[in-house]
Structure 1
Amino acid sequence: MKKCPECGNPSYDGAPVCGNCGYQFPKPKVAARKQRSIFDGEPVVEKQPKKQKEPKKEKQKANKPSNEPSVLEIIKEKKLIIGIILLITLIVICGIVLTGSNKNSTPIQTSDLAEYTTGDFSFKYPKDWEKVNLTDTDHETAIFFKNGNNTIIEHYNITSSATSLKDINQQRISLALSSGDAVELVETVTLDGRNGSNIILENADGNYTRYVSMFTDGKLYVFKVTGDSLNAITSDNINTAINSADIK
């Protein structure tokens, strides 16, 4: 039996309400039965055999020498080989250029030379040079030749008030630079046992002019060569004529 908490009237245990005042008794809590399934058991985990540890490889000592070349050594070796190849190639090219420039040149025989003489000065020149009628306003007595390459060879000798060939060359170079020419070469040469000079200018128009000069006893002897290239103004036949210069 149970009593109503409101009026105290007794009621049987399963009564849902009080028969006296109508109080609704709270429903009793039903405990759920725990059912155990045959699958509720904890899974059995089979223990796997432990893997045997492989023995650690011994580290190569840092100071242990290796027979294999390093990357740096290989690069250095290749650079050295490339440098040698380039050097050999450059030598071969220079040889080709030098031999090629003289390939078609043949020694000039004495019988193929004519002689020009004026006053105390003379020189020999190839017979196939053509005398041309040109003028030099600064040197009225100048003579002109043209060779097979259309290079003009001019010669003149004049009396000069200069004190040395050095002064004459300095004036010539200053005048050339003021005209927009470039100085390619200035050197001392020996002609007829005397000191001379060889000056090569690249003109503003792209041509080249060469001055070979001797100065002695107040007289200036000059070969002026004009051509379209360095090879044209320094050819063997021109050098033969210049080297044959003779002052009596």
Structure 2
Amino acid sequence: MKKCPECGNPSYDGAPVCGNCGYKFPKPKVKPATQEDIFEDRPIIDKSGNEESTLQIIKDNKIVIGAILLITLIVIGIIIATGPTANTTTKIDGSNKYSDAKISFTYPSNWKEVNGTDELHRGAVFFEGSNGTVIEYYNVTSEFSSIYQINNERISAAQASNGFINTIQPIQLDGKNVSNVIIADNGGNFTRYVSLLSNGNLYVFKITGNSINATTSSEIESVLNSVHIG
């Protein structure tokens, strides 16, 4: 810091004028560089042709460089070959995550992915939840234009098998309107269909249990709330 000789106001060392009274500080004298300063520690360039050129260095080490490039290409090939598959299941914070090209959701770690059959939806996946609840998920290309039509089909199928509709209501799934239908059969079991129609694709969770509570448990709701479409 320096002080203004006129008013005594402190200013930083490089200030050209006093910020209080406008006094112009004299410019500091710059010491000219001496000849020793200019040429001190300058590298000497060998112009005799004895210095090894960059091109020559590359030629001498072309085997090593080629090996590095080959290893790099192999690694890239492995990454491409072992990239993400259509369906994946990974651990996330004590839960498992299911994902395919169109949907993802998490489910409790105590659920087991089991073998199941659905002749109409061969790409379906099955899970066994608590209390023997079976959860089936599938997505298919649908010719239906609305969930209303799909619900009518479910009602007709239930009536044809002497079942009855216990619940039919709209709910939300990933911020989208979804159909929630629960059907009871003659054996005392309940099947819940949570269906979303989006861009010509029908996404369905089919949940089967021995009571309504089994198909609407907090465990089931947590899975549905984790769904992400697209």
Q: TM class, shorter-chain normalised?
A: 0.5 to 0.7
Which residue is 1:193 aligned to? 175
Cα distance, 1:111 vs structure 2: 2.0
Q: For 1:19-58, list aligned pairs within 5 A.
A: none
Cα distance, 1:141 vs structure 2: 0.4
1:95-131 per-position Cα deviation (integer Å, ceiling 9, x unaligned): xxxxxxxxxxxxxxx7232110011211110011011
SS, match of residue 150 in structure 2: helix
Give % identity.
44
Larger proportion of strand = 2
Which residue is 2:187 aligned to? 205
Distance 2:94 2:190 in 1: 27
The structure with the largest alpha-carbon Rg is 1
Q: For 1:1-248, list aligned pairs within 5 A.
A: 111-248=93-230
Which residue is 1:4 aligned to? none
- Runs of 4+, deviation exceeding 4 Å: none
Cα RMSD over matched residues?
1.0
SS, match of residue 213 in structure 1: strand
Distance 2:125 2:102 in 1: 16
Unaligned 5+ runs, structure 2: 1-91
TM-score normalised by length of structure 2: 0.59
SS, match of residue 232 in structure 1: helix
Cα distance, 1:224 vs structure 2: 0.3
Give the aligned residue type for 1:225: I
Distance 1:244 1:115 in 2: 10
SS, match of residue 131 in structure 2: coil
